């Protein structure tokens, strides 16, 4: 599974996911201050799931009609610690939830999904 971590995704979580063998590209490392539209285009081009805390991606995709990547994983709640994001993602993967073609919202107590256009 390949991910693109938006600039707001914690570096500790990125490193944790990499340590588990996931391929994680990081906007904060190689494309700081990239516009959301550029991040979406990169996720599409590189066939990566987008990891973000930025709800604007939903507006870009659903309301403004921007092309969508293979999947978007939106963390709705801010983590208590920087490693929590990776832990929540791994727990969701372990539960067998498929992110492909979905806008996934990870909340503290539940997971919601909506098909991408």
**In the prediction, which pLDDT does 78 show?**
79
Per-residue CA distances from 96 to 89, 91, 92, 99, 113 (Å): 11, 9, 7, 10, 13
DSSP string, 42-61: HHHHTT-EEEES-THHHIII
The pTM of the full predicted model, rounded to 2 decimals, is 0.94
Q: What is the DSSP letter of 25?
A: E
10-residue stretch averages of pLDDT, the chain, 117 residues long: 96 97 96 93 98 96 97 91 93 96 94 97
Residue 108: C-alpha distances to residues 17, 22, 102 (Å): 19, 22, 19
């Amino acid at each position: 599974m390949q991910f693109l971590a938006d600039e707001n995704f914690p570096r500790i979580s990125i490193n944790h996911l990499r340590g588990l063998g996931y391929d994680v590209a990081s906007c904060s490392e190689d494309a700081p201050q990239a516009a959301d539209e550029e991040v979406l285009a990169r996720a599409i081009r590189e066939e990566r799931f987008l990891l973000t805390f930025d709800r604007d991606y939903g507006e870009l995709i659903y309301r403004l009609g921007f092309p969508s990547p293979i999947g978007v994983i939106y963390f709705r709640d801010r983590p208590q610690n920087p490693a929590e994001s990776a832990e929540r993602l791994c727990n969701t993967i372990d539960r067998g939830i498929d992110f492909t073609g979905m806008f996934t919202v990870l909340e503290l107590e539940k997971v919601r999904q909506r098909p991408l256009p």
